[in-house]
Amino acid sequence: MNTEHIKKLEKSIQSMKDKKSRIYFVVQDTKGNAKGSVRYTYQMAYTLKKDGYNPIILHETKEYFGVADWLGEKYMSELPHKSIDEGNLEISPDDLLIIPEIFGYIMDQVKNLPCGKVVLTQAYDHIFETLEPGQTWSQLGFHKCITTSETQKEHVEKLMRKISYAVVNPVLSDVFKKPEYPAKTVIAVHTRDQRDTVNIIKQFYARFPQYRWIRLLDLRGLTETDFANAMKDCFVSIWIDQTSGFGTFPLESMKMGIPVIGMLPHLQPKWLNEDNGLWIANKNTLVDVIADFVQNWLEDNINPELYDAMEKTANEYSDMEKFESKVLEVFSEMFESRIESFEEQLNKLETIE
């Protein structure tokens, strides 16, 4: 019995050293709509693929729409994809299973699988959405978490103890570039709740009918390319997502040279400061702030220091090499730790033998 176990451990150790161990990334099906959390996962998997690892995208059903239309064909063609409902997944002790926090029910289903398990947390408000009352990640065999910001890490580690955390900041897509032509009289609106978008538009036109000739553009439901193209026409953007764990949209807006008027999120990210945007705490004052900005923009009276601060902030999250380096560092450390653990088990068995 020990001899068989020793051979399995030796095989697993060698598999991890050779980067042959499978790394399953569970993803949501966005039905063709751009979603920052899914892009982040694919970018992480693609980074590992380029470095010789063995990542596999895992989706719930065979009817997976994919990301080719909005993220790029290379992510579909170069990364292997499998569906959970096929029921023939190969899982070895040396494999890793990376599951977003929203899939608590999947965590429960896989809790007895003999592999490494990691939570990928991008939206802290979804953590308990599909978990049973009192249930924690460690109870389900998940003792490692990757998240997107230090602020979110500090919050989540209070909720989920007995977990080790790693932070990998998202990287902004190359499709977000400063437009070649001057902005038009268009305001971008991006909110988590569709009702906020509707209320902003209706309130603004009701309070300031003199600005009805200015278009407020709802950016929900667009592919990434269409999203960026629509942004090119805008001279300011509006952001409401108070449960955001990182805040990708305002950074994308800054990268394109478009100032942001935003509601302060409950967890304030490290990049957000008084110099790089117009941040407010009271939603009832939002349309007044928008109107003031419109008037100043029409009079060419926007402080140029705002644009300098925006560019400085966006540049910090536009370095793909930095993102890839951090991804490889995190996964290398995970595998090194697992190899060490497997070798300890092997040494104990060999001593008994």
Best CA proximity match to 328, nearest among 34, 46, 124, 37: 46
> Would the pLDDT of 4 be above 90?
no
CA dihedral 287, 290, 294, 297 (to 10 degrees): 170
Q: In the predicted model, what is the mean pLDDT of residues 264-292?
A: 95
Instruction: Please report which confidence band the pLDDT of residue 3 belongs to, taking 50, 70 and 90 as the band edges.
Output: confident
The whole-number pLDDT of residue 81 equals 95
> Where is 154: in which H helix or E strand?
helix 150-159
Work out the percent of the chain whose per-residue pLDDT is above 90. 77
Structure confidence by residue, pLDDT tens digits, 123-178: 899 999 888 898 999 999 999 999 999 999 999 999 999 999 999 999 998 889 99
For the chain, percent helix, then strand, then coil, each to nearest 5?
45, 15, 40
Residue 2: is it exposed, middle or buried by C-beta count within 10 angstroms (0-12/13-18/19+)? exposed
What's the DSSP call for residue 213? T
- Report how far residue 19's alpha carbon sits from residue 90's, in angstroms, rounded to the nearest whole number: 16
Q: In the predicted model, what is the mean pLDDT of residues 6-23?
A: 93
Beta bridge partners of 237: 188, 260
The whole-number pLDDT of residue 209 equals 96
Structure confidence by residue, pLDDT tens digits, 185-238: 999 999 989 999 999 999 999 999 999 999 999 988 777 888 899 999 999 999
Instruction: Please report which confidence band the pLDDT of residue 352 belongs to, taking 50, 70 and 90 as the band edges.
Output: low
Best CA proximity match to 34, nearest among 226, 211, 313: 226
Q: Which SS3 state, helix, strand or coil, does residue 160 take? A: coil
The whole-number pLDDT of residue 336 equals 95
Residue 300 one-letter amino acid:
D
Structure confidence by residue, pLDDT tens digits, 301-338: 999 999 999 999 999 999 999 999 999 999 999 999 99
The whole-number pLDDT of residue 7 equals 87
The whole-number pLDDT of residue 159 equals 93
> Would the pLDDT of 1 be above 70?
no
Lowest mean pLDDT among 28-32, 158-162, 336-340, 347-351: 347-351
> Based on C-alpha coordinates, what's the Rg of the chain?
23
Residue 104's alpha-carbon distances to 42, 131, 156, 167, 270, in angstroms, are: 20, 5, 15, 20, 28
Q: In the predicted model, what is the mean pLDDT of residues 340-344?
A: 90
Q: pTM of the predicted model, to two decimals?
A: 0.92
Q: What is the DSSP string of 99-148?
A: EETT-HHHHHHTTTSSSEEEEEES-GGGTTTSSPTT--TGGGT--EEEES
Q: Extract the tokens encoding 23.
A: 């790394």
How many residues appear in the chain? Answer: 353
